[in-house]
Structure 1
């Protein structure tokens, strides 16, 4: 029997010599790696671990980024809401304060204008009342003078006597003009004073009874009722003419 089992079958046998197969023992040592193989295996392991580490880092980064984005978004929304609310409150407060101030200023101006208008109205009323009272007083006084002269003509003697005793010097002529209706009364009551003062008595129908006019070397003394009345009215701030009739 040949040691080559496939001889005669046309099968090419390996060059190494044939050896019967036997099951290897399980406790036989495994094949030891060469230094090159060990280095290559280590490099592969390191590369694998590095890749896993990088992948884990990337996954962790993305996860952390997403979490941070969500938390940041939520915090940003809350902060923005709080800031917006605070800003809105501040803006509303400022706007309300400004509106309140503007309204208060407008009301103050309106009240000031009202007070000023009231004061002006009161001043006008006081002035008008004052003028009206003065006019009334003059009207009453004029009526009293008329009545007095009509009922007591001798009341004019005081005015005539004042003219006669004024300082006229010694120069002549000295003439006293009166209304014809007053001539007899003056001669009766003032004849001595007329003679002492070298006065001559004359009549003038244009004069109003109760008044007189004196002519001296120094000029004319107007003691007519009209002139005396204008002086009284002027002293009260009024311009009013004498009216002989009511």
Structure 2
């Protein structure tokens, strides 16, 4: 079994201290210190409450000021945004209105152009038709006038067939100049007596013979050459004249007696 070792030194216990009445300052206990402490605590608490109240007031004032600034900024921002929105809205409305007005104007102009073009085309068609009708009317009038003139000329020729018959003879002789053989002209007996002295002065060296033909009327003439027969009757000349103006009309019946 273990045994605690014996200490080398024995502890010394100091003697107890005895307090005498002279070494202690005694005073009577009263309630004043406690009341004064309570008053100081109360004043400190009041000061703390006052400070907290002032802090709360300052905080409310700061919050009110911040709210006021926020409201002011909001109102200013609202006003600026409203003005900008109005400006942008006006600009957008102006652009949309311009686009709509432009589109409407172009559509209206297109309709007007189409209507005008249709009216012009109708007028042009009517004018062209009037021109065609006028040309036909003028053409018919000119043709009728040509027929009347030709009839008059034929009447004159029948009244005095000498010049026209002589012109026919000259034409035939010119076409057969240098032709060997005799050229025989067949005429009405009345025209033969009228044409004989005129042909003698025109025949030159060519051999010309005039023959009366009972089947030929006044103003008619036929010829026979080495190259063939020539029909220069009044009807033949009339048909050629009418064909040149695109007509077919019988020669006028004129009494040449």
Q: TM-score, normalised by structure 2?
A: 0.58
1:147 aligns with 2:179: no
CA contact (8 A) 1:156 1:211 kept: no
Query: How far off its partner does 1:189 sit?
Result: 5.3
Q: Give the alignment partner of residue 31 of structure 2, picking from 16, 21, 43.
A: 21
Partner of 2:228: 219
Secondary structure of 2:149's aligned partner = helix
Change (3 A) 1:103 1:206: farther
Change (3 A) 1:153 1:75: closer
Partner of 1:137: 145
Partner of 2:99: 91
RMSD over aligned CA atoms reads: 4.9
Q: Give the alignment partner of residue 198 of structure 1, picking from 202, 207, 214.
A: 207
Query: How far off its partner does 1:109 sit?
Result: 1.8
2:38 and 2:181 mapped to 1: Cα distance? Answer: 186
1:66 and 1:164 mapped to 2: Cα distance? Answer: 120
Query: How far off its partner does 1:213 sit?
Result: 1.9
Q: Give the alignment partner of residue 171 of structure 1, picking from 167, 180, 195.
A: 180
Query: How far off its partner does 1:135 sit?
Result: 0.9
Cα displacement string for residues 118-147 of structure 1 (whole angstroms, at most 9, x for unaligned residues) = 542453244224412321232212321342
2:38 and 2:165 mapped to 1: Cα distance? Answer: 178
- Unaligned 5+ segments in structure 1 are 1-17, 32-43
Partner of 1:209: 218
Query: How far off its partner does 1:63 sit?
Result: 3.5
Identify which range, 222-231 or 195-204, moves more after superposition.
195-204
Partner of 2:49: none
Query: How far off its partner does 1:64 sit?
Result: 5.3
